[in-house]
Chains A and B, each alone.
Chain A
């Protein structure tokens, strides 16, 4: 059964190769892509099921046993991320069926989506720090091309910032890996954890941990390293923005949590203080940046930044409850954020613009869109009983428990400002009359509309379900946290030790 966890990596690879060969047969590419996305969804939930009920699944690639070979590991954390990411990917691929232009389709759009997903899945599953670097690069180069494909001027401008900052982050990551290998002589994450906890605490280890913090910090867009995100995420077509918004920064957060709960656990007081300060600034700058914007996608892009702050705050507070909150937050956020971008796409589809001053009257014409938007937007702002409320509540509770009142205050203030931004979109795009000179006649067929709305409905209902069954999701997140705070199980499973 071990081979099962290699499928989320292998399937998209084969699908990408097939799609490259079928360049001129767009319909065939679409079918292959859709089938792959559905299979990935099924496989990831199967993995999630097995990991939850049995134990961590470890695959030694090429039968080289850890710590010498590269291992793929699916523990609870990895499998939960895998499930949510592939759910979101499925919804986005569904949405793509009708919402991508012919030119991009011919420019290898589908193979790139597949390689992007291969990188994301690989980053979640790998148990080897250098392999993680490689998956990051697979993910990055696919995203570089996806963001520039089409070659509009604004896309190229945004891409330059995106590419440059992410290349610097890769440099930090690679340097960190080099030092880590020099210090311990191993690259396997479980083995690194053992080696580092057995060695004397040293300044060098702290320095290396900061290199990783900077590398993953750039990728997950935390303050003050987030500038590439709002400069570039609103430039590509909305399907691309949606999948980037849902997955890419969260892979960064995943790696941060993984590295700081498994490897650099020696001197946690040192890193947690830094993380909490960063989290506070990230939340506030992100949400204030959003308040100034007038374009749906730009508002949402800035909100990615501010929401990342919550996840980092949970990691920084460094208690079991806070980490549970972080994980709950990531699971909820991936779904809600992608969905908001897709709703933005729907608005653009029927009204022909993302600019708030030019929009209006969407609720009057399409009341159902209003409902879908409100579910996701209120969830993002943290209104009970939607999923965002429980995520924010858990993190705030964890903060109050250890008397970190200031950061909790910042988090709550950010919540209110988030609500302000969401209401701004609601008032401007959905509620007010559309300015007469901006009205465009856009014909949308019924079939087109239904096919575009279905994936949004899927994600919105998952958001509602997370809110309604918050208790079970919370228990699940608690189990995930238990696997992170006590990593003996992970280490024993990877190094094939028999636990006492």
Chain B
């Protein structure tokens, strides 16, 4: 299971990087979405997986009995998902506005601010 998840995370990272290196705006966002999924999977996998043993205290006992799944990575992933969701939504709006302003979704058309003559 861990091996499978690790390979999946690797595939997601490589696909994400590939998409971010493309010149189209939309592909950058898709690439970013894949990267955040990969990051979440990495946290999930490196936090050790204990299937089928949720971290609930059984009725009648005072404390958790081993083995149980570590709840911290899940909490981290939940936070990270919320953050990445918000940021992806923001990025979508931003990229759409930029597309409207420049009329192009090719990144090569977005370098006027880098030119030395800009503003002069």
Q: With A and B bound together, what is the CA distance between A473 and B107 in angstroms?
A: 46
Q: With A and B bound together, what is the CA distance between A354 and B119 in angstroms?
A: 8
Tell whether A374 is near chain B: CB-to-CB under 8 Å: no
Are the CB atoms of A174 and B110 closer together than 8 Å?
Answer: no
Q: With A and B bound together, what is the CA distance between A144 and B46 in angstroms?
A: 31
Residues of B contacting A154 in the complex (Cβ-Cβ under 8 angstroms): 112-113, 118-119
- Secondary structure dominating the interface of A: helix
Tell whether B114 is near chain A: CB-to-CB under 8 Å: yes
Residues of A contacting B111 in the complex (Cβ-Cβ under 8 angstroms): 157
5 residue pairs of the A-B complex, CB under 8 angstroms, read A130-B79, A137-B83, A144-B94, A175-B43, A358-B120
Are the CB atoms of A141 and B90 closer together than 8 Å?
Answer: yes
Across the A-B interface, give the 4 residue pairs with the lowest CB-CB distance, nearest first: A182-B46, A178-B43, A156-B98, A174-B39
Are the CB atoms of B118 and A137 closer together than 8 Å?
Answer: no
Interface-facing stretch out of A258-266, A287-295, A394-402: A287-295
Tell whether B67 is near chain A: CB-to-CB under 8 Å: no
Q: What 0/1 pattern do residues 83 to 104 of B give for CB contact below 8 A with A?
A: 1001100110011011001100
Partner of A167, one of B25, B87, B112: B87
Residues of A contacting B76 in the complex (Cβ-Cβ under 8 angstroms): 130, 177-178, 181
Residues of B contacting A168 in the complex (Cβ-Cβ under 8 angstroms): 20, 32, 35
Residues of A contacting B116 in the complex (Cβ-Cβ under 8 angstroms): 292-294
Partner of B114, one of A151, A177, A231: A231
| CB-based A-B contact count at 8 angstroms | 118
Q: With A and B bound together, what is the CA distance between A241 and B99 in angstroms?
A: 24
Are the CB atoms of B83 and A134 closer together than 8 Å?
Answer: yes
Residues of A contacting B79 in the complex (Cβ-Cβ under 8 angstroms): 130, 134
Tell whether A153 is near chain B: CB-to-CB under 8 Å: yes
CB distance from B116 to the nearest CB of A (A): 6
Partner of B110, one of A157, A170, A179, A185: A157
Residues of A participating in the B interface, judged by any CB pair closer than 8 Å: 130, 133-134, 137, 140-141, 144-145, 148, 151, 153-154, 156-161, 163-164, 167-168, 170-171, 174-175, 177-179, 181-183, 185, 187, 230-232, 234-235, 292-295, 298, 354-355, 357-358
Tell whether B48 is near chain A: CB-to-CB under 8 Å: yes
Are the CB atoms of A163 and B120 closer together than 8 Å?
Answer: no
Partner of A177, one of B43, B86, B101, B113: B43
Partner of B98, one of A159, A181, A183, A295: A159
Q: With A and B bound together, what is the CA distance between A356 and B66 in angstroms?
A: 70
Are the CB atoms of B72 and A153 closer together than 8 Å?
Answer: no
Q: With A and B bound together, what is the CA distance between A205 and B28 in angstroms?
A: 30
Q: With A and B bound together, what is the CA distance between A160 and B39 in angstroms?
A: 22
Are the CB atoms of A163 and B94 closer together than 8 Å?
Answer: yes
Residues of A contacting B91 in the complex (Cβ-Cβ under 8 angstroms): 163, 167
Residues of B contacting A292 in the complex (Cβ-Cβ under 8 angstroms): 116
Known: A153-B102, A156-B97, A234-B113. A294 touches B120 (CB 8 A): yes
Residues of B contacting A140 in the complex (Cβ-Cβ under 8 angstroms): 87
Q: Tell me the nearest residue of chain B to A130, going by C-beta.
A: B76
Are the CB atoms of B46 and A157 closer together than 8 Å?
Answer: no
Residues of A contacting B101 in the complex (Cβ-Cβ under 8 angstroms): 151, 153, 156-157
Known: A167-B32, A181-B73. A156 touches B47 (CB 8 A): no
Q: With A and B bound together, what is the CA distance between A145 and B107 in angstroms?
A: 21
Are the CB atoms of A181 and B87 closer together than 8 Å?
Answer: no
Are the CB atoms of A357 and B120 closer together than 8 Å?
Answer: yes
Tell whether B5 is near chain A: CB-to-CB under 8 Å: no
Are the CB atoms of B120 and A181 closer together than 8 Å?
Answer: no
Interface positions, chain B 37-93, Cβ under 8 Å from A, are: 38-39, 42-43, 45-48, 70, 72-73, 76, 79-80, 83, 86-87, 90-91
Q: Tell me the nearest residue of chain A to B43, going by C-beta.
A: A178
Residues of A contacting B80 in the complex (Cβ-Cβ under 8 angstroms): 133, 174
Are the CB atoms of B98 and A157 closer together than 8 Å?
Answer: yes
Given A157-B111, A168-B32, A174-B80: 8 more A-B contacts, CB < 8 Å: A148-B94, A164-B20, A168-B20, A177-B76, A178-B42, A187-B72, A231-B113, A294-B120
Residues of B contacting A179 in the complex (Cβ-Cβ under 8 angstroms): 42, 46
Are the CB atoms of B25 and A160 closer together than 8 Å?
Answer: yes
Q: With A and B bound together, what is the CA distance between A181 and B77 in angstroms?
A: 12
Q: Tell me the nearest residue of chain A to B114, going by C-beta.
A: A231
Q: With A and B bound together, what is the CA distance between A164 and B19 in angstroms?
A: 12
Could you say which of A163, A167, A355 has the most chain B C-beta atoms within 10 Å of its C-beta? Answer: A167
Q: What 0/1 pattern do residues 5 to 35 of B give for CB contact below 8 A with A?
A: 0000000000000001000010010001001
Q: With A and B bound together, what is the CA distance between A175 and B39 in angstroms?
A: 5
Q: With A and B bound together, what is the CA distance between A160 and B109 in angstroms?
A: 12
Are the CB atoms of B119 and A295 closer together than 8 Å?
Answer: yes
Q: With A and B bound together, what is the CA distance between A370 and B72 in angstroms?
A: 56
Q: With A and B bound together, what is the CA distance between A31 and B52 in angstroms?
A: 55
Q: Tell me the nearest residue of chain A to B117, going by C-beta.
A: A294
Known: A151-B101, A231-B113. A182 touches B47 (CB 8 A): yes
Residues of B contacting A178 in the complex (Cβ-Cβ under 8 angstroms): 39, 42-43, 46-47, 73, 76
Q: Tell me the nearest residue of chain B to A137, going by C-beta.
A: B83
